[in-house]
Amino acid sequence: MTLHAGIVGLPNVGKSTLFNAITQAGAEAANYPFCTIDPNVGIVQVPDHRLGILADMVHPDRIVPATVEFVDIAGLVKGASKGEGLGNKFLSHIREVDAIVHVVRCFEDSNVVHVEGNIDPKRDIETIELELVLADMESIEKRSERVTKLLKSGDKKVQAEVDLLNKLKEAFNEGKSARRLIYTEEEEELLKTISLLSLKPVLYAANVSEEELTSNEENKYVRQVRELAAQENSEVVVVCAKIESEIAELEDNEKQAFLEDLGLHESGLDRLIRAAFHLLGLMTFFTAGPMEVKAWTIRQGTKAPQAAGTIHTDFERGFIRAEVVSYTDFVEKGGLNGARDKGLVRLEGKDYLMQDGDIVHFRFNV
């Protein structure tokens, strides 16, 4: 599976600049609203040092990392849910992504005009949230009308859905997003049938200046973002879109030296991807052989047959068992044969829960 993350935010907060940097896709970035109308899409590799180590041991023909797809969605404004600023089109793009990367401007620069005239992260975040909530409210109202008519049937599932819709309506009327609520297991199952924008997990990218990124103290704007994010258990990654754009222009062997000169250990992209994986409960397993070493992305709690299905549907359909060794054991024992000699290679069945870093060979029969 590939993680699809939509980059959103008000106009001129640094969305397209950040997108250009992390994807090197050349999306237009300009100092005026709505320069991004149709979403630009870029696929980037997930940085994982384990791939290089495995490749040095196995000597494959190719190395295939996991990927993240970033979608640069145009700047939203007040009234987007009612079509303002081509808002309906933009909201439909958000509906298609797994997670939202909300870029929030946390720096002052008189040369870059803010659509609201001044810097206020709290207001900016609430503006975007409100538009998502209003769009969800409209969807819920339409669904509620249909479902309420079925109440006379006495179906308990219908009643449960009506109760959930009323719960959501109450929250939306208070301006709360769907992700701020606590749900029962039954409600969580029902939510899978309702496409809610304000339920999508959010990762906040606090865009700061170069000086503030390398400072030992976060500015007041970043602190505002952290306070709001804490209320919904969301994560915050502090980035400097300008620095990321400079890193993107460097050769691979120059990037680490550039980061070290700034006193940084890794790029904003690396931190952004890791936070997105954590946000969505994702992890990686590997296949390693002479043809390729490849990283595969799955959700935490995935069982072996479903993991096999990410490689090919036939693997899941005809799953017999999985030959598994942990990454640590594989490396410490010098490869598969060394791990097998020490009894560290396991045969796992259909109920095996995959672990991050597992190196797997699936056995199947179709």
Report pLDDT for 28. Answer: 47
| 294 within domain boundaries | no
| 126 within domain boundaries | no
Answer yes or no: do 85 and 170 share one domain: no
Going across the sheet that includes 319-325, the strands are 62-64, 292-299, 282-288, 359-364, 319-325, 346-348
* Contact criterion met (CB below 8 Å) for 43 and 67: yes
Cα separation of 133 and 127, whole Å?
10
- Residue where a domain stops, chosen among 175, 197, 219: 197
Instruction: Count other C-beta atoms under 10 Å from residue 163's C-beta.
Output: 13
In the DSSP assignment, the letter for residue 199 is G
Answer yes or no: do 239 and 357 share one domain: no
What DSSP string describes 212-248?
Answer: HHTSSS--HHHHHHHHHHHTTT-EEEEE-HHHHHHHH
Nearest C-alpha neighbor of 99 from the set 73, 130, 120: 73
Residue 334 tokens read as 């010098």
249 — pLDDT class (breaks 50, 70, 90): confident
* Contact criterion met (CB below 8 Å) for 313 and 328: no
Answer yes or no: do 240 and 352 share one domain: no
Sign of CA dihedral 32, 37, 42, 48: positive
Answer yes or no: do 216 and 69 share one domain: yes
Specify the number of domains making up the chain: 3
CB-neighbour burial class of residue 231 (10 A; exposed 0-12, middle 13-18, buried 19+): exposed
Provide the CATH number for the domain around residue 306. 3.10.20.30
Task: Print the domain residue range for 250.
Answer: 3-47+64-120+201-279
54 vs 12, residue with greater confidence: 54
Which residue's structure tokens are 């976060």? 218
pLDDT at 154 over 90: no
| 59 within domain boundaries | no
Nearest C-alpha neighbor of 53 from the set 270, 335, 363, 245: 335
Report pLDDT for 79. Answer: 57
Please write the tens of the pLDDT for every residue from 96-130.
899 999 999 999 887 776 777 788 999 999 988 98
Please write the tens of the pLDDT for every residue from 52-92.
999 999 999 999 999 888 888 865 656 554 554 444 566 77
| 271 within domain boundaries | yes
Query: For the whole model, what pTM was predicted?
Result: 0.84
Report pLDDT for 32. Answer: 41
349 — pLDDT class (breaks 50, 70, 90): very high
* Contact criterion met (CB below 8 Å) for 296 and 302: no
